[in-house]
Structures are given as C-alpha cells and as structure tokens.
Structure 1
C-alpha cells in the first residue's frame, strides 16, 4: 500500500496474512503489519493513519478479526505511532541465540 501526500508517494505499508501463532492474538488468520514508513516531511499529516485504515479494510475482506504488528523495544517512536493508531501492547519478548558450532 502506498500513501500519497500532495500527489507524491510519501509512505508505504506492507501487510501479510499470518496463519501461525501471533503473539497476543486468538484467531487465525491474522493480518500483520510487517512494516510501515512515512517520509519525515509527511509525518503528522495522516499518512500512517490512512495506510493502516487501508490495511484494515484489506484484512477485513480476508475474514481477519485481528490486526497485529510488532516493534523493537527501543523503537519508542514506532510504539507511540502504533498506540496512536489504536493498537494495544500485548506482551514484550526478548530473543536469544546460542551458537552450536564454530564457523
């Protein structure tokens, strides 16, 4: 999905359908906001809200009852945007890895 601001592309959103477990969700499939970007000069002008609304409409047409996303813990700007767009935080996760052999 692309966002037009004053006739120019200024943002995009990538949305997928996830059929596996999605943290905090109870249904399947779940629409998942894989990524969203709005150019700095277009922020605060409704582009992200329009992109998310379009994604929600797309998801509704695919029988999704939930719309999920994630952000890294340190990305407070993205977390604030998600909250402003109606998302609710469900949980926080820390990932770990352990190397099993030398390369």
Structure 2
C-alpha cells in the first residue's frame, strides 16, 4: 500500500539517530542486524573522511527512508580522484514513488557540493532493474559494469 505524503522532512542524521538509521539499513541489508549496523555507524561517523546520513520523516514522525554517503578516494567515472559516493539508499515500501528518494538524494548532493566535490557516484546490483531505472531518472549515467572479486589472505 502506497501512502501519499503531505509533508516530508529530510535532515542530516545525528548520533541520536543511530538506532533509526541502523534499523532502516538492516531492512536494506537483511543479512546484518540493526545492532551490528549501529556499531558500524558509530565507527564510520567517527572517521576523518566524512561519512554522512540523511533521514526522511513524514510530517507525523514516521521514518520514511535513509541515504548515506561518504567521500571516497576513487569513484568510477569521476573527473577527480576524490568523489562523494552514495553507499546506501532505502525507502520504506509504502513511501516509494512519492519523492522520498529524490529528497534524500538532493540532501546528499547539497552536502557533497559543500564538501567541494564535483562528482557523485553510486552503484547497485546488476539485476536490480528498478534501481537502474531510478538512477537514470534522477540524472545518473551508467559509467561502468564490473564484477568484484576478493580473496582472504592468510
């Protein structure tokens, strides 16, 4: 069921918001608990390189979505080495297609410009066609496809 939004409040997350932020991320990444995300967010937000989150709330106080981003030393397609990068974006199902994601993205874009960034990167999984379409609709262009490998070093 989709809800119509009459008012949307998007604001930068603070340390007091870690529980809400973590709970929303746990919905995006069900393999990790909200408690694990909360501990991770405490670490990430204390790093010297900026890591920021923005939360969207309805006018009656319901958490509608979250976006977080950081400054990376490299982002595919960036004209500079450093670039802002969207790490996570989640909108509660009942608030999708109502402007929440666009409002969250706008907040990150403003933050990135304040940081002196000229590029905003983002990624999604290869099979998430809805996410691909959204990225293109809000002005992102596909710059690269890759398969990522990793190997534990004993």
Picking from 104, 109, 121, the partner of 1:51 is: 104
Which segments of 5 or more consecutive residues in structure 1 lack a partner in the other structure? none
Query: Could you say which residue in structure 2 is the equivalent of 1:11?
Result: 65
For residue 100 of structure 1, report the CA deviation from its aligned partner.
Answer: 8.1
CA distance, structure 2, for counterparts of residue 28 and residue 99 of structure 1: 27
Q: Which has the higher helix share?
A: 2
Determine whether 1:66 maps to 2:131: no
The residue aligned with 2:6 is none
- 1:32 is paired with a residue whose SS is strand
Structure 1 segment 1-103 matched on structure 2, within 5 A: 1-7=54-60, 8-19=62-73, 21-97=74-150
Stretches of 4+ aligned residues off by more than 4 angstroms: 97-101
TM-score (norm 2): 0.60
Decide whether the 8 Å contact of 1:28 with 1:64 is kept in 2: no
TM-score normalised by length of structure 1: 0.87
Whether the 8 Å CA contact 2:85–2:122 is kept in 1: the answer is yes
Quick one: distance in 2 between partners of 1:25 and 1:68? 8
Between Structure 1 and Structure 2, how many residues are aligned? 100
Task: Mark the runs of 5 or more structure 2 residues left unpaired by the alignment.
Answer: 1-53
User: What's the RMSD between the two structures over aligned residues?
Assistant: 1.7
Helix, strand or coil at the partner of 1:31: strand
Higher relative contact order (CA 8 A, sep 6+): 1
